[in-house]
Structure 1
Amino acid sequence: MNLAQYKNEFSRNFQLAYPVILGMLGHTMISIVDNIMVGKLGTTELAAVSLGNSLIFIAMSVGIGFSTAITPIVAQADASDNKEEVRSAFHHGLFLCLALGIMLFLIVFVSKPLMYLMHQPEEVINMASPFINWVAFSLIPMVVFQGYKQFADGLSLTKYSMYAVIFSNVIHIFLNYMLIYGIWIFPKLGILGAALGTVISRLSMVAYMHYILSRNETLTMYFQDFSFNQIKKSMLKKITALGLPSSMQMFFEVALFTAAVWLSGSIGKTSQAANQIALSLASMTFMIAMGLSVTAMIRVGNQKGLKDYKYLQTVAKSIFVLALVVEIVFAGLFVLFHQQLPHLFLNMENITDLADNSEVIAIASKLLLVAALFQISDGIQVVVLGALRGLQDVKFPTIITFIAYWIVGFPISFYLGEYTDLKATGIWIGLLAGLSTAALFLCLRFNYLARKLIHNNGQ
């Protein structure tokens, strides 16, 4: 494929990707706003939010991963002009997302004792517990929102979720500021205020998403006759067959990063706070790759529906190259500003916490150098996963991600973090190893399937 073909595809990719990227950044901003605002209260508060969000993110990854099954089904049916299939996928997907959201809330709620088993600082656990209760409840509207989002994404209507997330972030920032610090008529609730801000903003997000989608005249047919009588086992099985492995893929990765949080906590609260700062910054750049991953899922799903497998390969490769270029640029920025970026999260004017904060910044600066490398691998693996989901190939990639993250990545993180002087930096070297392994073998998997489709269909 020549450079001109890449350029043409880049334009189409960005049109689909930028609303998704902004929407994903909006999701990340909820935790980043929590970290920045709570970080001003003290190192213990920041570590508590980090610990609490680590449990929440595991559950959220399962919900988001499962919901991605809706997009390729809708994209393929839409390209084939099968409106009944689109409608069925939407209704069944929403039903499953609601059930899953409730289940995830209950699981997180009863899983809080795990924090004691992971040898986390007691003062951090005591502060994190009430925070977890409220943010866990926000998983219900969050996963339901994903059902709406994946449906719209499958129809290439990626801007709707962006509008909803921006709307919810405005509410979240306002409520956080008022409730954390006790501004105006609002009580001063500390990190509990951050939790309440998250709950209310996510409820408003799903309400807004329903409103703007249901008022679109071209989508009216999909919002009629919601009924449990129309729930069919065949579609439930189809979505679950795609959604369960996809949720496991995200679970394996997020659980690895959560393990990094817990390993950092076992080293000390400064390492844990530094880990959260570096992870927050890396998560922002990762959202660019996530947006491109959704684009890959949509466009590959469309071409599968049209059965144009040669162009499918062209589209996918253009997205892979785009992701690689973007992540290399961000890696350079992390290297250039690795000493300045951590200052955004801490109040260095607080004399009481000056020693702890200085140590946090020193550790976080080193972690950002490792993050500069691993985000390249992270970006590639998530974009290729999106293309594989577009092909509805999910089982083999699940095995790849498990081996990469838990057979390769975690043992390295554990050994270097617990038994060497590298400590927190060693933990992140393990993350880099796991992500790089995943990126390599997922690329090989997609290459194999794309060539097989082209060969079998004589293209």
Structure 2
Amino acid sequence: MNLSVYTKEFGANIRLAYPVILGMLGHTLISVVDNIMVGRLGATELAAVSLGNSMVFIAMSVGIGFSTAITPMVAQGDAAKDTATVRSAFHHGLLLCTILGICLFGVVYLAKPLMQLMHQPQEVIELASPFVDWVAFSLVPMVIFQGYKQFADGMSQTKFAMYAVIASNIIHIGINYVLIYGAFGFPKLGIMGAALGTVISRLFMLAYMHIMLSRQEKMKQYFHGFSFSEIKKSMLKKITALGLPSSMQMLFEVALFTGAVWISGSIGKTNQAANQIALSLSSMTFMFGMGLSVAAMVRVGNQKGLRDYKNLQIVARSIFLLTLILEIGFALMFIAFHTILPHFFLNMENVAQLQDNTEVIAIASQLLIVAAIFQISDGLQVVVLGSLRGLQDVKLPTIITFIAYWVIGFPVSFYLGIYTELKAMGIWIGLLSGLTVAAIFLYLRFNYLTNKMIKSVGSDQSQSTEIIA
């Protein structure tokens, strides 16, 4: 097939994806800003925020993954002009996200003893423990926000979440500055200032999203007349059946990266800090893949609602191609600036921390070479996964991601990181292997399903022709 068939879809893909990308970058920027601003205090503080955020990010991934069940259902209902389905998916999804956010806060709060069991440095644990309490609470508004966001994404209204996240980041940076460093007469709270900044900015983000969506003419009808009597067990089960495997897919990947943080922590705080720098940078470029994944979910869901399976396959493959081009560009950037980028995260003028910081930069520079390669696989696997969610195919992809990350990726990371001289570099080689396996087998699954759907429509049309004849 001519390449132009795919490239002509780039414009529609980018228009839908860029607000999501900016919004996802905003989510990541919260932890990146914490890392940069706290990194000025020292390597121990940076390692503590890394450890604390890794625990919270696992729970957040479950909430984000679960909420994605709302988007394909809304997108399919919107394309079919089925307002009842859209309303039901939104209301049931938002209720489930609220309950899940509260549960995740409780789980993270009670899970703090795991830091001791994972043999993390004691001085890091002492700083991380109170930090976790506050950032875990921010999961409640965060997951509820995701319910609103996924509804808006399914309606192809992706800009509102972008505005909410941008505004919350501005607030977050301001609060961080005054509370971490004690500026303008505020108390100097160190990493606790970063935790409070996260909580306040996420509460604002949720309030902004509700107010803006409820005022939109297209969406007003979905914000009136809510009643618990409308809640049906069948719809709760349907969303859960889609959301639970999706949350597991994201959990498996995020837990793999968290495992990398913990393995690097057991090697030493400089390896852990270096790992966090590389992870922060690669997470930012990964958000482009995440944004395109949402575009894939929405556009594939729309085409499924229209039963246009040939165009569905073209649209999805155009997103895969666009992702590949972008991720290769980022890979080249990482390779070109691998010795420069780590300096943004540490204060090299601090003489007391100079030896640790020099070692952190040397390790992080090496990790960025591996990150350059692995993010290509990471971007591809997430957009294919988005397309499969658009098809509402979640069970087998969950098994694929589990095997790729935990049967292949984690054992390689653990062995190379602990038992070889590669250390942090070995951990990232394991990440690369798991993501590459996931990308290959998820694409094979997508290709199989869409070819089967196209053949089934062709078969139905042939039978109709025979009947007419």
TM range (shorter): over 0.9
Write out aligned runs for 1:422-437 (5 A): 422-437=422-437
Query: Residue 54 in 1 paired to residue 54 in 2?
Result: yes
Per-residue deviation, 1:81: 0.4
For 1:455, the equivalent position in structure 2 comes to 455
Q: Report what 2:465 is aligned to.
A: none
- For 1:171 and 1:122, the matched residues in 2 are separated by 32
Equivalent-residue separation in structure 1 for 2:171 and 2:238 (angstroms) = 36
Matches of residues 411-426 of structure 1 in structure 2 within 5 Å? 411-426=411-426
Pairwise CA distance, 1:170: 0.8
CA distance in structure 1 between the partners assigned to 2:75 and 2:133 by the alignment: 36
Aligned to 2:98: 98
3-state SS of 2:351 partner? coil
Shift of 1:7: 2.6
1:172 aligns with 2:172: yes
Residue in 2 that maps onto 1:30: 30
Q: SS at 1:130's partner residue? A: helix
Task: Answer yes or no: is 1:72 the counterpart of 2:49.
Answer: no
Residue range with higher mean Cα deviation, 5-14 or 40-49: 5-14
1:158 aligns with 2:158: yes
2:392 maps to what in 1? 392
1:204: which partner in 2? 204
Does residue 189 (structure 1) correspond to residue 163 (structure 2)? The answer is: no
Per-residue CA deviation, residues 126-180 of structure 1 (Å, 9 max, x unaligned), is 0000000000000000000000000000000000100100110111000000100
Tell me the alpha carbon deviations over residues 94-153 of structure 1, each in whole angstroms, 9 at most, x when there is no partner.
Answer: 000000000000000000000000000000000000000000000000000000000000
Tell me the residue number matched to 1:442: 442
Residue 185 of structure 1 and its aligned partner are, at CA, apart by: 2.8
- For 1:240-319, list aligned pairs within 5 A: 240-319=240-319
For residues 139 and 123 of structure 1, what CA distance do their matches in structure 2 show?
Answer: 25
Distance 1:3 1:364 in 2: 38
2:29 counterpart SS class: helix
- What secondary structure does 1:226 align onto? coil
Give the Å deviation of 1:5: 2.0
Question: Secondary structure in 2 aligned to 1:157?
Answer: coil
Letter in 1 for 2:375: Q
Extract structure 1 runs of 4+ deviating beyond 4 A. none
Partners in 1 of 2:228 and 2:126 — Cα distance? Answer: 42
Amino acid at match of 1:100: L
How much identity, in percent, do the aligned residues show? 74
Question: 1:334 offset after TM fit, Å?
Answer: 0.4
For 2:79 and 2:390, locate their aligned partners in 1 and report how far apart those are by CA, in whole Å. 13
Partner of 2:466: none
| TM-score of the superposed pair, with normalisation by structure 2 | 0.97
**CA distance in 1 between partners of 2:389 and 2:223 (Å):** 26
Q: Distance in 2 between matches of 1:248 and 1:369?
A: 29
CA distance in 1, matches of 2:14, 2:194: 33
1 CA distance for matches of 2:185 and 2:143?
Answer: 32
Shift of 1:3: 2.8
Partner of 1:356: 356
Distance apart, 1:241 and its partner CA = 0.4
1:235-256 alpha-carbon deviations (Å, 9 max, x no partner)? 1011000000000000000000
Match of 2:301, SS state, is helix
Q: Does 1:112 align with 2:147?
A: no
Instruction: Output the CA distance in 1 between the equivalents of 2:234 and 2:304.
Output: 21
Q: What is the alpha-carbon distance in structure 1 between the residues aligned to residue 138 and residue 283 of structure 2?
A: 20
1:28: how far off?
Answer: 0.5
Equivalent position amino acid for 2:156 in 1: S
- Structure 1: distance between partners of 2:268 and 2:18: 38
The amino acid of 1:406's aligned partner reads: W
CA RMSD of aligned residues (A): 0.6
Query: Gaps spanning 5+ residues in structure 1: where?
Result: none
> Are 1:380 and 2:401 counterparts?
no
User: What is the aligned partner in structure 1 of residue 406 from structure 2?
Assistant: 406
**What is the identity, as a one-letter code, of the residue corresponding to 2:263?**
L
